[in-house]
């Protein structure tokens, strides 16, 4: 795409590709820094690519003005990976060797070296979906294990160490990145432990540090006795053509058998359909797969024995699905290392770097793990976000971006003082997602006996107009049956009218039936936490104080008698449903914070959750999640630059009173 411009960066002959070398003059490097800063603002909004030196800039165009149409960069598919991997091993032979992918293209000056150590496939193509973007900021070398190669782990470590030391000698002031996938991650840990004097940055995807899984041991034994030619004979004589009866039978087996689940754990989505089998059999003939498992065993044992001595800067990428190989205890050992950070990807599987939505460059940038010198330079090492990355950030700041559109959904949370959070949350649901959130509220908001001293019904107009419903089993059932979005507060009146020092303390009943009811409709349960009342006011006269004042004590007892006690069967604090108005002193306004936790699925679990003990386990899980959400918010709000009213007011003046003020980044949770 051509961009016309009134501002053009002109590149002279001095800035030929040769100036990128470390021998460039200081003036040339300074000129490069200047032009790089100018061109860093130029993006093609349709391809989400940054223009390099020599691009024409349009001074009046803001690339972040078009984020609604921004798309992620098109990348090679998993099918392309299989095709290229099949071609790669077609005429394979010789020892392990390095190669540099052709599609990496031109990279930025002084880019650090990135060594990729493959997983169990051994092709070295595990970054094929990442090559293009990584190649702009790294010099990429990928290690390839030929299919017939049986180099032991100790010799592979020597090969990697030789390369690391050689490149460190050439560029002693640059870090060397090692990206390792499963087996490769084990090898990377060993290399880092043996070379503490070299500046290494490890990025480890699902590192394997222990080989004690009973199923994998059984697989080794099975492969050991399997005749050599069986897999290829099956493929050659029966085939796996699309739509054939054998294909359908095999795919059924893939979905239902324990053996298939074991294979999925090893090979992830590559084992997803029978059409991939011929390529997999070429990459993994029986003797090769047997050797790879032995290699995995020895490499992981070596990594396990040395991981505690690793001092390299380390970023661990951990998948949430198909984790047959990752040992959680060892991940905790790695997490305890002085320079280690762990990022979790709950919805991804074993082959993390080949999956959709996983952009390694974005991950590195967000973690602030990209540097070109001995230490991170927060100015010159910073890489501007692409329009799509900015779009992702913008969406992450929307409080309701991950809320399901379709019901039924049950939102279970904590009450702040006087239940003030329900109105604000319900309004935001309507404004941002066009979802009507029906809050289950105390009956006193809907009915009042003649002569009662309960507050006037008009006080609750704001709650009723946004869809609040009297809490009852029948109303709860009817809402779920109508596929509604429902808000439930198990803490009830006791939580909404808490005492001094009880902010963010849950007063939930010992048992509850809502889990079993929800499971009948297959509704999602979304726990959430709310904090902020302590930034709005301070309680000076609570229930205990008021009960010491005779006329207030009499008033509390009278209005409580006029109301309905929904917890009459409970004991202890939960039965104390006395109604009163706490005495509060307002503060300079802070902010409300709402955080929605991980959804809990009940669809297909009606039979399981009809058991009271099983339902109670889910109930306790919901309660724990709500507490975690509150704890997270109380910690993270300390980093919110707009927590106080002055910076918020300035933001409104600069961006308009209808703008949404950002808060802390939620993506690291």
Interacting residues of 344 by C-beta distance below 8 A, sequence separation 6+: 318, 320
pLDDT at 14: 28
Tokens standing for residue 562: 């006029």
User: CA 575, 576, 578 angle in degrees (round to 5)?
Assistant: 135
Specify the DSSP class assigned to residue 433.
Answer: I
Of 282, 225, 218, 240, nearest to 83 by C-alpha is 282
pLDDT digit string (tens) for 427-469?
A: 888 878 888 899 898 888 887 776 778 877 777 777 777 788 8
Burial (CB < 10 A; 0-12, 13-18, 19+), residue 257, is exposed
* H-run or E-run covering 363: helix 360-366
pLDDT, tens only, 99-130? 998 887 678 888 999 999 998 888 889 999 89
Q: What is the pLDDT at residue 84?
A: 79
Closest CA to 622 of 535, 469, 511: 511
Cβ neighbours around 262 below 10 Å, total: 18
- Please count the other Cβ atoms lying within 10 Å of the Cβ belonging to residue 472: 12
pLDDT at 212: 53
Token output for 444: 């006193």
Residue with tokens 């009459």: 568
Distance CA 141, CA 152 (A): 21
Residue entry with tokens 């496939």? 121
- Count CB-CB contacts under 10 A for residue 313: 21
Q: Tell me if 303 sits within 8 A of 190, measured CB to CB.
A: yes
Locate 100 and state its tokens.
């540099």
Is residue 406 a contact partner of residue 601, using CB atoms and an 8 Å limit?
no
Is residue 33 within 8 A of residue 380, CB to CB? The reply is: yes
> Which helix or strand (DSSP H or E) is residue 475 part of?
helix 473-481
Total Cβ atoms within 10 A of residue 175: 24
Predicted pLDDT at 223: 53
Helix ranges (DSSP H) in 142-213: 153-170, 183-194
Here the tokens at position 505 are: 């303390």
Question: CA-CA distance, 49 to 387, in Å (whole number)?
Answer: 9
How far is Cα 87 from Cα 81, in angstroms, rounded to an integer? 10
Structure confidence at residue 137 (pLDDT): 93
d(CA 114, CA 100): 10
Q: Mark the ranges of the chain whose per-residue pLDDT is less than 70.
A: 1-62, 64-68, 89-92, 105, 210-284, 322-327, 393-399, 401, 450, 565-576, 658, 666-669
| Residue 336: per-residue pLDDT | 81
Is residue 269 within 8 A of residue 351, CB to CB? The reply is yes
pLDDT reported for residue 65: 67
* Interaxial angle between packed helices 245-256 and 258-267, expressed in degrees from 0 to 180 and rounded to the nearest 10: 80
DSSP H helical segments within 11-59, as ranges? 26-39
Phi and psi dihedrals of 541, rounded to 5? -140, 95
pTM (predicted TM-score): 0.55
């Amino acid at each position: 795409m051509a961009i016309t411009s009134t501002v053009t960066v002109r590149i002279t002959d001095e800035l030929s590709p040769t100036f990128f070398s470390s021998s460039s003059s200081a003036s040339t490097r300074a000129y490069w820094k200047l032009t790089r800063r100018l061109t860093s603002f130029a993006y093609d909004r349709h391809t989400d690519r940054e223009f390099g030196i020599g691009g024409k800039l349009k001074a009046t165009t803001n690339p972040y003005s078009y984020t609604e149409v921004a798309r992620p960069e098109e990348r090679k598919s998993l099918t392309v990976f299989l095709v290229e991997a099949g071609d790669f091993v077609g005429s394979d032979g010789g020892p392990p060797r390095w190669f540099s992918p052709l599609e990496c293209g031109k990279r930025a000056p002084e880019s650090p070296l990135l060594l990729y150590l493959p997983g169990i496939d051994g092709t070295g193509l595990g970054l094929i979906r990442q090559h293009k973007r990584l190649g702009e900021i790294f010099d990429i070398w990928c290690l390839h294990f030929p299919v017939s190669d049986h180099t032991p782990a100790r010799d592979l470590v020597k090969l990697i160490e030789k390369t690391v030391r050689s490149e460190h000698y050439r560029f002693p002031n640059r870090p060397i990145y090692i990206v390792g996938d499963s087996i490769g991650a084990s090898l990377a840990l060993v290399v880092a432990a043996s070379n503490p004097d070299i500046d290494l940055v490890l990025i480890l995807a699902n590192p394997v540090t222990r080989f004690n899984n009973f199923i994998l041991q059984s697989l080794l034994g099975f492969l050991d006795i399997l005749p050599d030619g069986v897999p290829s004979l099956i493929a050659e004589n029966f085939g796996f053509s699309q739509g054939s009866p054998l294909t359908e039978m095999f795919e059924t087996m893939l979905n239902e058998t324990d053996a298939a689940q074991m294979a999925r754990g090893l090979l992830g989505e590559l084992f997803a359909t029978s059409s991939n089998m011929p390529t997999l059999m070429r990459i993994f003939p029986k003797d090769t797969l047997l050797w790879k498992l032995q290699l995995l065993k020895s490499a992981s044992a070596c990594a396990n024995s040395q991981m505690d001595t690793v001092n390299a800067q380390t970023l661990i990428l951990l998948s949430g699905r198909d984790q047959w190989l990752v040992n959680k205890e060892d991940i905790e050992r790695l997490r305890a290392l002085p320079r280690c950070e762990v990022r979790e990807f709950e919805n991804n599987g074993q082959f993390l770097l080949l999956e959709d939505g996983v952009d390694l460059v974005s991950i590195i940038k967000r973690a602030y793990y990209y540097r070109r010198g001995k230490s991170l330079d927060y100015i010159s090492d910073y890489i501007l976000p692409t329009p799509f990355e900015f779009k992702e950030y913008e969406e992450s700041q929307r409080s309701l971006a991950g809320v399901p559109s379709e019901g039924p959904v049950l939102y279970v949370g904590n009450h702040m003082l006087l239940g003030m959070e329900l109105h604000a949350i319900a309004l935001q649901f309507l404004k941002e997602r066009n979802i009507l959130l029906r809050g289950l509220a105390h009956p006193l908001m809907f009915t009042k006996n003649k002569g009662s001293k309960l507050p006037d019904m008009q006080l609750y107009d704001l709650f009723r107009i946004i869809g609040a419903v009297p809490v009852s089993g029948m109303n709860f059932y009817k809402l779920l049956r109508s596929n509604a979005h429902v808000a439930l507060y198990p803490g009830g009146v006791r939580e909404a009218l808490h005492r001094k020092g009880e902010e963010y303390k849950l007063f939930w009943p010992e048992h509850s039936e809502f889990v079993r009811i929800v499971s009948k409709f297959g509704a999602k349960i979304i726990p959430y936490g709310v904090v902020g009342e302590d930034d709005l006011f301070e309680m000076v006269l609570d229930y205990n104080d008021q009960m010491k004042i005779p006329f207030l004590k009499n008033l509390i007892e009278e209005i409580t008698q006029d109301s309905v006690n929904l917890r009459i069967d409970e004991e202890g604090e939960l039965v104390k449903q006395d109604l009163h108005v706490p005495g509060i002193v307002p503060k300079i306004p802070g902010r409300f914070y709402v955080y929605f936790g991980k959804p809990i699925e009940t669809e297909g679990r009606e039979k399981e959750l009809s058991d009271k003990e099983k339902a109670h386990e889910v109930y306790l899980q919901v309660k724990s999640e709500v507490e975690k959400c509150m704890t997270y918010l109380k910690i993270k709000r300390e980093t919110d630059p707009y927590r106080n009213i002055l910076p918020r007011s300035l933001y409104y003046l600069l961006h308009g009173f209808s703008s949404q003020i950002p808060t802390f980044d939620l993506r690291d949770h």
